[in-house]
Chain A
Amino acid sequence: MEKTTGSEAGPLISISHLTKRYEAGDPALSDLTLEIRRGEAPAVLGPSGSGKSTLLNMIAGLDRPDEGTVTVDGVRVDRLGEAGSAKYRRATIGMVFQFFNLLDDLTVQDNVLLPAQLAGMPRAKARERALELLADLGIEQYRGTFPGRLSGGERQRVALARALMNRPPLILADEPTGALDRASAGSVVRLIRELNERGQTILLVTHDTGLAASCATRTIELVDGRLVRDGAAVTQ
């Protein structure tokens, strides 16, 4: 993996003049430039079609920009091939999705173990780490359960545990409370806040200003693929 610059002191994410077009017409992202420091928990806000998910995909190495650069933890993500992207995601990114994206035919523990197993972590060490995370997130009792039997909030906790498994410097959370009821959403928000307070960098992508207000340290607002606001978190 190509690691250019980057140090503990520099920005974790550095985006420069990022543009992405899917079809002829207006770009999904247009000349976007921004930096995110370690320990931050910024929320990317915006209506549907504003380019939030495209930005998240670019940072996660799931998609490539047409122009501009994306550097995460010193890695030029926009230059990575498929294999390089996979290694990058294992090492640097933990992803949390709106609809959890747990594998329904694996138990909770097996789901959480997946990133470590793909990265080749020794079995005993991975198991120890998974149990630690499950206990930490209060879902230890469900480790042998299949996700289909859990509530939405519990599933999102499993997803968070999975995202944290390889101790990534960056968690990308795409509408993490979008599919949850109010109570479950509240518990996930608390969890995200706690994680950030422990120093975990978390990039939230949401259209829910309430979520942003609850746990974001900074707000980045996109409209039609352009940055229209970048500042302190809004408060409710």
Chain B
Amino acid sequence: MWEGIESGLATAFTASNLAVVVIGCFAGTIIGMLPGLGPISAIALMIPITYGLDPAAAMILMAGVYYGAIFGGSTSSILINAPGVAGTVATTFDGYPLARRGQAGKALAIAAYASFTGGTVAALLLIFAAPALASVSLSFQSADYFALMFLGLIAVCAFAGKGYVLKSLLMTVFGLMLATVGTDPTAGVPRFTFGQIDLIDGISFLLLAMACFAISEALMTILKDEDSAQMAASAAKGTMGSLLLKKREVKEIAPAVGRSSVLGFFVGVLPGAGGTIASFLAWGMEKGLARGRDREAFGKGSLRGLAAPETANNAASTGSFVPLLTLGIPGSGTTAVMLGALLSFGIQPGPRLYIEEPAVFWSVIISMYVGNIVLLILNLPLIPYIARLLAVRKEILVPMILFFSLIGVYLVSFNVFDLWLMVLVGVVAIGLRLLDLPLAPMILGFILGDILEDNLRRALIISNGSPDFLWARPSTLFIMAIAALIALVPLLGRWRTGRTVQAGEGG
């Protein structure tokens, strides 16, 4: 392990890769701050650029962008009460009231310090958890991998939230269907290509990601006529207040940050759970633990109430890299996009990545830590200025986003057909959004589709077509049992709600 860490350190600390982290964090912060654009869009927009880099630098760039985008999302949550993504919604509860009291600087500083600590603790836990999980999964066979993919897809749906479980399942199936477009890898049979030669290789992952996130989000901004540029400008011109924290304030938030770091990491490791659940859980946990006046301050500008979700969100983001790097299973929409990018580099994340590409594996983990430091020492002091840059009108910004998305996809294939298809997919994505159908499970299904089919085919060949491969090996059975348990989570939630309602009516 230590040789791997050394080689990762050597890779991460080259001048060019350090520059890549800085650029990534900076670009991520700016994109993440823009209304409607979250980490998924930020990473999707970066993918065309990563094709000019080596795999390690590409992953480092994406990790930097990921962190930057999360921090950018927190900034817009605090400054203008506009969380770019669900993961920073809990940040607005106490962050925005603090900003309104003229303590925006302090709120941003707490967000940065809390994110830094959460990221640091999680990165340390990742260093030990990832190799352990990778060594266990070395003995995995096709049946186990199929079960793992199944677990990942089920988990994403089970944790989708009230009212979204069925929709997520449906969208996962839709994503898996889209993944079957193109030539079947074993028999060489073209499937669902409508005789179009441009579809022989299937739908490009980048095209789908860009159309579903960057293009549809930009168009949704126009549809909804959202304009937070003016608010951002006024927030930036207004008083930021001091960025420094008092000793008493540090003491107040320190235990919350510690608890939320561990909680966030473990929630992040669960496939499908991610930063949103972690941040809400951490906020709820701290509120539950608070007493008297402290408790009353929650939702009105409590420092603990801001620090907890920020810490947990960042720790969960790091935690979500554990299943991605060790099992090759993305735990969230963002890591799904990263998996797609890795696959296009010819790198298959999973236990073998740890052995065959230790430099990539460890440099990504180390870069996450470097990304945290960059955010703290570079981005934080620059926030007032970055926020001013964001006063660019959406009438200029949206055409730019559309252009970057279109040209990003074109530069990979140099095929104009992809531009036509992208507009079509973008329009379909808007329709799905308007119908409240979530797109992240669809992307996850699309990315896992090929690997899932490949492992299912192998498992069936080994078992002579019998479905007993699902329970023949203890490891497969164990994973399928966890999947079954996770599938019960929404039912359990419904049962508990029913009991509460009954108790309420009875009492």
A binds B: no
Write the residues of chain A forming the contact surface with B, with a CB cutoff of 8 angstroms. none
Interface residues of B (CB under 8 A from A): none
